């Protein structure tokens, strides 16, 4: 019995020396981890994403794969940590963790930036729901879409553009450079937001969003009025048409 116990302790010592993460320790340190997350500056930026990924994998990546990619690892996420992440994202954008990182189907999955594998998307959605932040089904209204619909300005006008641009930048300009100009940022725009933009423009001008703002080839580019950079034109067109937005 004593020999078996010593062997078990020796094995545990070897694992600890190799830096293998221990999920049970993460529960004990949940409050400390949440405090660390609250203190991280510039939420939703690339630097913030990287630091969050490191923290989450250090605490919860039980198999050492470099990502949270097992159901047991997602279940181990403490609700205090999940709520803290959601609150920090909402401080920086008009949307929550689920929308900005596509964790519940309201936009394209970018959870890998935080160390969350899409292979466990169902478990992530369940964990978000269990911990408080609500899951949003694909194409359902997200906070960005709701904000677009709530605008009084006529879609497609200069006044509307002036309201839409800061709204979209606040939600999707993750590196803070004043433009939505990367594939990751474009992927963050959910179908509900694309639909709300298109509906507003069609109601106000009678023309589809993608044609009026030049996303569709053959039309003059004015997408920068919405905060989208010309270099993201093709990516934005693909993302919008994938959401069934008419090209013209």
pLDDT digits (tens, 9 = 90+) for 33-89: 988 999 999 898 999 999 999 999 999 999 999 999 998 899 889 888 998 898 888
- 122 & 24 share domain: yes
Considering the domain architecture, whether residues 62 and 163 belong to the same structural domain is answered as no
The phi and psi torsions of 103 (rounded to 5 degrees) equal: -80, -15
Indicate the number of domains in the chain. 2
Residue 247 lies in a domain: no
In a domain, 1, yes or no: no
> Any alpha helices (H) in the chain, and if so which ranges?
2-17, 23-28, 30-39, 46-60, 71-75, 79-92, 97-100, 121-131, 143-150, 158-172, 183-187, 191-205, 209-212, 233-242
- Out of 100, 131, 162, pick the residue that ends a domain: 131
Percentage with pLDDT > 90 across the chain: 37
The segment with the largest mean pLDDT, out of 8-12, 105-109, 134-138, is: 105-109
pLDDT bucket at 14, cuts 50 / 70 / 90 = very low
| Domain identity same for 181 and 118 | no
| Inside any domain, residue 136 | no
For range 199-222, the mean pLDDT: 92
71 is a domain residue: yes
Same domain membership, residue 27 and residue 125: yes
Whether the CB-CB separation of 102 and 190 falls below 8 Å is answered with: yes
Q: Which of 97, 131, 165 is the last residue of a domain?
A: 131
pLDDT at 28: 54
- Whether 15 has a pLDDT exceeding 50, the answer reads no
Let me know whether 103 and 208 are in one domain.
Answer: no
pLDDT given for residue 195 in this prediction: 87
Residue 141 has a pLDDT of 53
Residues 80 and 110 in one domain: yes
Q: Are residues 152 and 238 in the same domain?
A: yes
Instruction: Decide if 29 is inside a domain.
Output: yes
| Residue 75: inside a domain | yes
Q: Which of 105, 131, 157 is the last residue of a domain?
A: 131
Q: Summarize the confidence of residues 5-27 as an average pLDDT.
A: 38
Per-residue tokens: 50:
């990287």
Mean pLDDT score across all residues of the chain: 81
In a domain, 162, yes or no: yes
pLDDT in tens, 76-122: 898 889 988 988 888 887 677 888 888 876 668 899 999 999 999 88
Q: State the residue range of the domain holding 62.
A: 17-131
CA-nearest of 241, 179, 182 to 216 is: 241
**147 and 121, same structural domain?**
no
> Does 109 map to a domain?
yes
The model's pTM is 0.49
Same domain, 107 and 86: yes
Looking at the fold, whether 215 and 155 belong to one and the same domain comes out as: yes
Given a cut of 90, is residue 227 above it in pLDDT? yes
Average pLDDT on 199-226 reads 92
């Amino acid at each position: 019995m004593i020999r078996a116990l010593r062997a078990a302790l020796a094995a545990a010592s070897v694992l600890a020396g190799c830096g293998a993460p221990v999920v049970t320790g993460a529960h004990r340190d949940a409050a400390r981890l949440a405090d660390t997350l609250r203190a991280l500056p510039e939420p939703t930026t690339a630097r913030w994403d990287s630091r969050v990924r490191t923290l989450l994998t250090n605490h919860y990546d039980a198999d050492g794969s470099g990502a949270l990619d097992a159901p047991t690892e997602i279940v181990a996420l403490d609700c205090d940590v999940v709520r803290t992440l959601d609150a920090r994202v909402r401080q920086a954008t008009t949307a929550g963790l689920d929308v900005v990182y596509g964790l519940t189907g309201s936009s394209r999955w970018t959870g890998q930036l935080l160390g969350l594998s899409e292979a466990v998307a169902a478990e992530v959605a369940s964990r978000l729901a269990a911990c408080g932040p609500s899951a949003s089904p694909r194409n359902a209204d997200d906070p960005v879409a709701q904000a677009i619909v709530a605008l009084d300005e006529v879609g497609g006008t200069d006044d509307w553009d002036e309201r839409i641009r800061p709204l979209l930048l606040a939600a999707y300009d993750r590196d803070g450079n004043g433009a939505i100009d990367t594939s990751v940022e474009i992927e963050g725009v959910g179908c509900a937001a694309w639909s709300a933009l298109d509906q507003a423009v069609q109601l106000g001008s009678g023309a589809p969003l993608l044609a009026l703002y030049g996303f569709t080839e053959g039309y003059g580019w004015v997408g920068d009025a919405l905060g989208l950079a010309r270099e993201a034109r093709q990516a934005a067109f693909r993302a919008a048409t994938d959401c069934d937005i008419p090209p013209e």
